[in-house]
Each structure stands twice: as structure tokens, then as C-alpha cells.
Amino acid sequence: MSRLWEKGLPLDARVLRYTAGEDHLLDARLVPYDVRGSIAHAEMLAATNLISDEDCTAICDGLKALEQSFENGDWHISLEDEDVHTALESRLTGNIGSAGGRLHLGRSRNDQVLTALRLYLRDTALDLAKRVTGLRASIADLANRQGDVEIPGYTHMQHAMPSSVDLWCGGFDEGFADAVAGLEAVHKRINKNPLGSAAGYGTPGLPLDRELTTAKLEFDTTQSPVTAAQLSRGKAESALLFEIALMMQDLSRMASDLLMFYTQEFAYISLAPEVTTGSSIMPQKRNPDVLELLRASSATTQACLDEALMITAKLPSGYHRDLQRLKAPVFRSIDLAVDSVDIMAYVLEGLAFLPDNISLDEGIFATAEAYRLVTEEGIPFREAYRKIAERYAK
């Protein structure tokens, strides 16, 4: 096995471990995307007569077989492979011979990894938007079941004005609708084809057809000029992480509300037994651990956004190995968001508000009473406000 950059010179094992980092583990999710990008590249090379049709067929069939065997668990990406790109090309060449060595013509590992990441992020943004839509359906179901239940509206942690389960659900639903729109907008930023930009300065002398790979990979546009590809690294990733961070803040605040409602002091809600855990010492305890972890999850996704932004801040233009460090925070945030959205939807399915335990303080109707004075007696609102305030002055 030889890495894509191999020149026959020795490499210290410690340097390999440090520079490869987690890529051999993280890249498992990129196998189908690197295969897809490589097939499009091979078909473009054949269409421009840079490789033969026979070699193209062997490459494409070989890549598809490798993808299937990876899914079957027949091989994995090792530290010695370094990343998905070496893992696939070395095995492809071992399986089909010299044709495999022709695949890398007209591309660099730089535009190769960027293409696979863009294809992955594009699918991820739409998948997460679909999951958030599922969460919205769970919120709507709760509102349909118990929307007319009255609950206090709070400001400063005090009873403020009357609210309802329907209003509570509606506020979060609007936030998650924004999340779906944001994820769909990020999809547009992601959907640019970097393939053919190579190491960031094109492929002089080769008649590559970048528009052909754009069409084959269903990108909206071809990223141009070629120098823009490496300069854009981290931007689409950070844009996605930003939308995730905003969405997770709403999810965290929903969890915070429900944790308060679940306390014995409030007892506004019940949770399904299967979503609570127990104590190792107190036999009576049923703990809402899942909601506490949901509350904490926004901190992680915001940290991932900060990490991604700081990695790219002040880098010169062109490619730098620092960019490899983007994968970990991006994947960590995505995985946490997917799990959190799905688990909150599940929690809501078994949640019920308990009307008999919910009382509204008399003062919660003070604003409505001030409005009544305005509409029935025609006095200015500020005067009505003071009249009502006098009742609660002591």
C-alpha cells in the first residue's frame, strides 16, 4: 500500500499517527461520497479522451465493488491508509491493475476531499431538515392533543400573562421552521463543484470538462476561479454549524422548560416511563436525564462552530493542512444534532400536560384588566396601568 503522496521516502510512525489523526476513523462516512466523486471524475476523463473507455469501465465497476464490500464489512480504513482517498485508490489499483493508477489524473487530494465533503454535507443538510420537520410534527401532535390547556406565561421566572400549550408549542414550532429554512439555504452554499480545481490552481495543459462533473454530481454551479475552492473551505461547514447551533439553542430551551415543568414544585407534565432513568441510591427517583443532556447539547454545537471558525481564521489563501481539523467538529455537531432532534421528537410523543396541577395566579390577568379599562372606560393605557398596579402595590 502506498499513500497518494508517496515518494519512496521514509515516514516516521509518530508523524503518520499525528498527521493522519482521526481521519481513518472519521472518513468511514465519506466512502460512498468519494466513490461517487471518483466515478464522475473517471467518466469525465473518458469523455475528454484522457483515459480509455475500457479503463473508465474498470475504474467505475471497481469503485462500486469496493463500496459494496466496505458496506459488507470486508475492509476498513486503517491508519496506514491515512484516509478514505488512499484506502480506495490503493485497493482499486490492487484489484484492477494499472487502470486504477490513471484515476488521479487531473485532480488533487485537495479537491477530492472537498468534493466528497460537499456531497456529504449537501445530503446531511437536507436529512437534518427532514428530521426537524419530523420534530415539528411531534410538536403539532402535542398541540392538537392538549393545545387548549392553560399554562402561565413567564417573564423573569415569574407569572406574567396567560398562555397555553398551543402557544408554547407554536413558539418553538416557528423556531424550528426557521431551522428548516436555514438548513435549506445552507444547501445552496454547499452545492458548488470544486472538482478540477486540484490543489487550488487548476490542471494546466489538461482539457478537463468541469461542467460535465458538475452535471454528473448534480451541483448547482462550478466553483470558479479555481483559487476560490480552497479559500472557501470552512465556509460551508461553518454555515451549516451555525444553523445547527441556532436550532440546538431552541432545542435546549425547550428541554429547559420541560425540566422545570417536570419538577415536583411545578408538576405540569408527566413523561413516559421509558424516557426516564433511575438513581443508584434513591429508589423513588425517575430522572429526566435525556432532557438534561438535551439542555447541554447546545453548548457542544456552539463549541463546534467556534472551533471551525477559529481553524480557518487568518489562514493565508491556498491549501493548508490545518483544514483537516475541520472534520471532527463538523461531524461531531452533525451527529449530536441528528440524535438530539430525533430523541426530542420521541420524548414529546409520550409527554402529557397535567391541567389539574396547573394554576394561574390572579395577577397574571392584570394586563387584560388594564386593557378592559381602556376599551370600556376610554382612559389612556398608562392611567389604566397605574390603576391596576395599585392593587398589587402591597
Cell of 281: 441510591
The pLDDT score that the predictor gives to residue 1 is 47
Asked if residue 292 belongs to a domain, the reply is: yes
Flag whether 135 is in a domain.
yes
1 found inside a domain:
no
pLDDT at position 80: 87
Q: Please tell me whether residues 286 and 148 are part of one structural domain.
A: yes
Q: Is residue 42 packed enough to be buried (19+ CB in 10 Å), middle (13-18) or exposed (0-12)?
A: buried
Residues 135 and 253 in one domain: yes
249 within 8 A of 298, measured Cβ to Cβ = yes
Give pLDDT, residue 123.
97
Find the largest Cα–Cα distance for the chain.
93
Q: Give the CA distances from residue 174 to residues 136, 140, 142, 167, in Å, rounded to whole numbers and listed in that order.
A: 9, 11, 15, 11
Q: Is 232 a residue of the active site?
A: no
pLDDT at 287: 96
Is residue 6 situated within a structural domain? no
Whether residue 142 is found in the same domain as residue 241 = yes
pLDDT tens-digit readout, 76-101: 999 888 889 999 999 999 999 999 99
**Bridge partners, residue 193, by sequence:** 222
| DSSP H or E run through 160 | strand 158-164
C-alpha cell recorded at residue 111: 479537491
Same domain? 60 vs 143? no
Final residue in a domain of this structure, among 101, 120, 150: 101
The last residue of a domain, from among 101, 125, 154: 101
* Pairing of β 150-155 and β 158-164: antiparallel
How is 262-283 classified by DSSP, letter by letter?
Answer: HSTTT--EE--GGG-B--SS-T
| Residue span of the structural domain in which 204 resides | 109-357
* Residue 123, all three cell numbers: 445530503
Reported as a single tens digit per residue, the pLDDT across 169-199 is 999 999 999 999 999 999 989 999 999 999 9
Set of cell numbers at residue 231: 479559500
As a whole number of angstroms, the distance between CA 153 and CA 157 comes to 9
Is the same domain home to 57 and 152? no
> Please, what is the average pLDDT of the chain?
94
- Is 279 tagged catalytic? yes
Of 78, 279, 317, 359, the active-site residue reads 279
Domains identified in the chain, total number: 3
pLDDT at 262 over 60: yes
Q: Are residues 81 and 160 in the same domain?
A: no
Q: What is the pLDDT of residues 14-66, one digit of tens each?
A: 877 776 678 788 999 999 999 999 999 999 999 999 999 999 999 999 999 99
Say if residue 66 is in the same domain as residue 144.
no
Calculate mean pLDDT across residues 121-138. 98
Residue 25's pLDDT is 87
Q: What's the whole-number mean pLDDT along residues 241-247?
A: 98
What global pTM score does this model have?
0.93
DSSP 21: T
pLDDT > 70? residue 7: no
Domain ends where: 61, 78, 101? 101
Predicted confidence at residue 82, as pLDDT, reads 83
Tens of pLDDT along 343-362? 999 999 999 999 999 999 99
Residues 293 and 347 in one domain: yes
Q: What is the pLDDT of residue 19?
A: 65
Question: Are 218 and 340 members of one domain?
Answer: yes
Residue 10 has a pLDDT of 66
Report the CATH number that the domain containing residue 48 is assigned in CATH: 1.10.275.10
Whether 324 maps to a domain, the answer reads yes
Contact 332, 300 (CB under 8 A): yes
pLDDT of 336 higher than 80: yes
> pLDDT, tens digit, for every residue of 279-328?
899 999 999 999 999 999 999 999 999 999 999 999 999 999 899 999 99
Domain for residue 4, yes or no? no
